[in-house]
C-alpha cells in the first residue's frame, strides 16, 4: 500500500468550507441519489411493519424522520480520570461557537445511560463541518484520537449495556469491526476492574473477532485507544469460530457473547442515504442464513448460564424476529428449555423500545405492471408459492422459517415480545433491533449443520434414513 498524498493547506481549507453557491443555504437540503428507491422502501415497511405503528400519524412521523440528518453522538471514556472535565470543555467550546442570540449548537445529556457518559448533539456530522463549528469539530476529533471519547450512534450503545460486564467475564464480540461496541465493552471492563490491583491478572478478557482482514486492522487501532491489556483481536469466520483452550488443554467457553451481525443496514439509512439506491426486498432473505449461522455459533460457544446479545441495524423482521425464533426452536428441539429470551424492557429502563413483532408478511416485488405503475410495488407471499417459483434465486432462498410460527408459539414459547425494536421517530436516532438470550444447558441440536443435510455414510441406509428424517423435522426449513 502506497503512502497517501499530503493535502495542501488550501485543500484542507476547501474541505472545511465546501463548495458554496451565492444565495444558497450553508447546508443544502438532503438530495437522494439518482435512481432512489425511497418510495418502494417506504411502501415496503409501511406494509411489513404495520403492526408496529400505533396509527397513521406514527407512520407519517417514521417516514419524515428517515429523511432528516442523524444527530451526532459521543460517549465519554468513564475509565479515564476526570472524564467529567471533558464534557465541561466541550460544552464551553460549543457555547463559544454559537453567535450572539443564536443557539445553533447544543449538547444534550442522555439520562438513561449510566454515569452521565453519553451526550447527543442537535446537529448531524455534515452540519458539524460548517465553518462556524470548526473549533468544536476539531476538539471532538482530538478527544477521540486521545481515547477520551468515542463517537457512536446512540442506539448502538444499548447492546453492550445489556451484557452487564464484570471484570471476571470472558466476552466474545463475534462481529466486532469497526470497534465502537468493543471499546465500549473494554471501558466497562476497565471500570469494573478498578478494584483489582492488576487487571491483567484477572481471569476475564475480551476476544474481538472480525472476518475481513482490513477491517480487523481498523478494529486493532480502535481497541488500542483503550488502555486495557485483556483483549485479543482475531481474524476468523464468525459462524465457524473455534473454541479456545487453556494451556492445560481445557476448553474455554464464554460467559457472554455479543453478536452484532452483518445485516442489510436499512435502519441506518439516516446515516447512509445511498442505501436507498441499492435497497431490495430480497436483502433480508439473502442475509438471514448467515445471521442464523452466527447466532447459533454464538450460543454454542457460550457456557451454561451465559448471555447472548443479538442485534442488527435493520428494520426487516426476516433478519430479526425470524432469526431469533428459529434459533430458539433449534436449541430447544433436543433440549427443551435450554435457551430463553430475557425481557429487555424490564432490564433496561429509559430508551423508548417497542416489543418484537409476533407476525409479519413476506413481501416480494409485484410482477403486475399495472400495479407497479400505481405504486403498488409488493405482494404478500406464502411458502408454497415461493418454493414453486420459476426464479432459481427465489426458490433457493426460500425457507419455512422465513414465515412466522403461530401467535401462541411466538408469545408463549418463544416470547418474542421480550425483544426490542427501536424506531428513529421515538428518540431522534437510528433504528435497531436487540434480543437478549440466556443459555441454561447445552443442546445437541445446535451442532446440526445449518445448510442442507447430506448423509456421509452410504453403507447404512436405515440409520441414514432415520437420521435424515430426524434432522428434516428439526430444521423445518
Cα gap 277→62, rounded to integer Å:
19
Handedness of CA 74, 75, 81, 85 (dihedral sign): positive
Largest CA distance in the chain: 86
Orientation of helix 83-97 relative to helix 134-145, angle to 10°: 160
Cα gap 355→344, rounded to integer Å:
9
**Residue 339, all three cell numbers:** 435457551
Cα gap 344→342, rounded to integer Å:
6
CA–centroid distance for 306 within its chain = 20
Cα gap 377→40, rounded to integer Å:
7
Cα gap 212→176, rounded to integer Å:
10
Helix, strand, coil percentages in the chain from 3-state DSSP, rounded to 5: 40, 15, 40
CA–centroid distance for 462 within its chain = 44
* DSSP-derived secondary structure for 11-73: HHHHHHH----TTS-SSPPP-PPTT--HHHHHHHHHHHTTTT-SSHHHHHHHHHHHTSPPEEE
Residue 405 three-state SS: coil
* Phi, psi for residue 417 in degrees, rounded to 5: -65, -15
Say which of 73, 97, 313, 477 is annotated catalytic: 313
Nearest CA-CA partner of 360 in 441, 284, 254:
284
- Residue 424's alpha-carbon distances to 66, 95, 123, 357, in angstroms, are 7, 27, 15, 17
Return the bridge partners of 308, or none: 257, 437
Cβ-in-10-Å burial (0-12, 13-18, 19+) of 440 comes to middle
Q: Is 263 labeled as catalytic in the residue annotation?
A: no
Cα gap 11→130, rounded to integer Å:
15
Q: Burial code of 103-120, b = ≥16 C-beta within 10 A, e = fewer?
A: eebebeebeebeeebbbb
DSSP state of 411: I
Catalytic residue positions? 313
Amino acid at each position: 500500500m502506497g503512502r497517501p498524498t499530503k493535502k495542501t493547506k488550501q485543500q484542507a481549507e476547501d474541505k472545511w468550507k465546501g463548495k458554496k453557491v451565492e444565495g444558497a443555504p450553508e447546508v443544502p437540503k438532503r438530495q437522494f441519489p439518482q435512481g432512489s428507491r425511497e418510495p418502494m422502501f417506504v411502501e415496503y415497511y409501511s406494509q411489513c411493519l404495520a403492526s408496529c405503528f400505533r396509527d397513521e400519524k406514527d407512520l407519517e412521523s417514521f417516514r419524515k424522520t428517515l429523511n432528516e440528518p442523524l444527530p451526532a453522538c459521543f460517549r465519554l471514556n468513564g475509565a479515564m480520570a476526570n472524564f467529567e472535565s471533558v464534557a465541561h470543555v466541550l460544552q464551553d467550546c460549543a457555547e463559544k461557537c454559537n453567535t450572539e442570540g443564536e443557539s445553533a449548537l447544543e449538547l444534550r445529556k442522555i439520562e438513561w445511560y449510566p454515569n452521565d457518559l453519553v451526550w447527543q448533539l442537535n446537529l448531524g456530522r455534515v452540519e458539524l463541518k460548517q465553518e462556524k463549528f470548526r473549533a468544536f469539530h476539531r476538539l471532538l476529533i482530538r478527544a477521540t484520537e486521545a481515547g477520551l471519547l468515542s463517537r457512536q450512534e446512540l442506539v448502538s450503545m444499548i447492546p453492550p449495556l445489556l451484557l452487564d460486564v464484570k471484570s471476571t467475564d470472558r466476552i466474545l464480540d463475534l462481529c466486532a469491526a469497526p470497534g465502537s461496541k468493543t471499546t465500549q465493552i473494554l471501558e466497562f471492563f476497565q471500570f469494573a476492574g478498578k478494584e483489582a490491583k492488576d487487571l491483567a491478572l484477572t481471569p476475564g478478557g475480551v476476544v474481538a473477532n472480525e472476518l475481513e482482514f482490513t477491517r480487523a486492522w481498523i478494529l486493532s487501532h480502535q481497541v488500542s485507544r483503550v488502555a486495557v491489556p485483556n483483549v485479543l483481536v482475531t481474524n476468523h469466520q464468525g459462524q465457524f469460530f473455534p473454541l479456545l483452550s487453556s494451556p492445560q488443554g481445557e476448553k474455554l467457553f464464554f460467559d457472554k457473547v455479543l453478536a452484532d451481525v452483518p445485516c442489510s443496514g436499512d435502519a441506518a439509512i439516516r446515516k447512509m442515504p445511498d442505501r436507498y439506491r441499492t435497497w431490495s426486498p430480497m436483502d433480508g432473505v439473502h442475509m438471514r442464513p448467515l445471521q442464523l449461522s452466527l447466532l447459533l455459533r454464538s450460543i454454542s460457544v457460550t457456557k451454561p448460564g451465559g448471555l447472548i446479545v443479538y442485534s442488527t441495524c435493520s428494520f426487516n423482521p426476516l433478519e430479526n424476529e425470524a432469526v431469533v425464533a428459529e434459533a430458539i426452536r433449534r436449541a430447544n428441539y433436543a433440549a427443551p428449555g435450554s435457551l430463553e429470551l430475557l425481557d429487555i424492557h424490564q432490564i433496561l429502563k429509559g430508551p423508548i423500545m417497542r416489543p418484537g413483532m409476533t407476525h409479519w408478511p413476506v413481501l416480494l416485488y409485484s410482477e403486475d405492471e399495472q400495479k407497479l405503475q400505481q405504486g403498488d410495488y409488493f405482494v404478500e407471499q406464502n411458502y408454497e408459492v415461493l418454493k414453486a417459483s420459476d426464479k432459481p434465486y427465489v426458490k433457493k432462498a426460500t425457507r419455512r422459517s422465513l414465515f412466522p410460527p403461530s401467535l401462541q408459539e411466538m408469545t408463549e414459547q418463544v416470547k418474542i415480545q421480550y425483544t426490542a425494536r427501536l424506531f428513529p421517530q421515538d428518540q431522534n436516532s437510528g433504528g435497531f433491533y436487540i434480543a437478549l438470550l440466556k443459555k441454561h444447558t447445552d443442546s445437541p441440536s445446535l451442532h446440526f449443520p445449518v445448510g442442507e443435510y447430506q448423509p456421509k455414510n452410504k453403507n447404512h441406509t436405515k440409520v441414514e434414513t432415520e437420521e435424515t428424517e430426524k434432522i428434516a423435522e428439526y430444521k423445518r426449513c
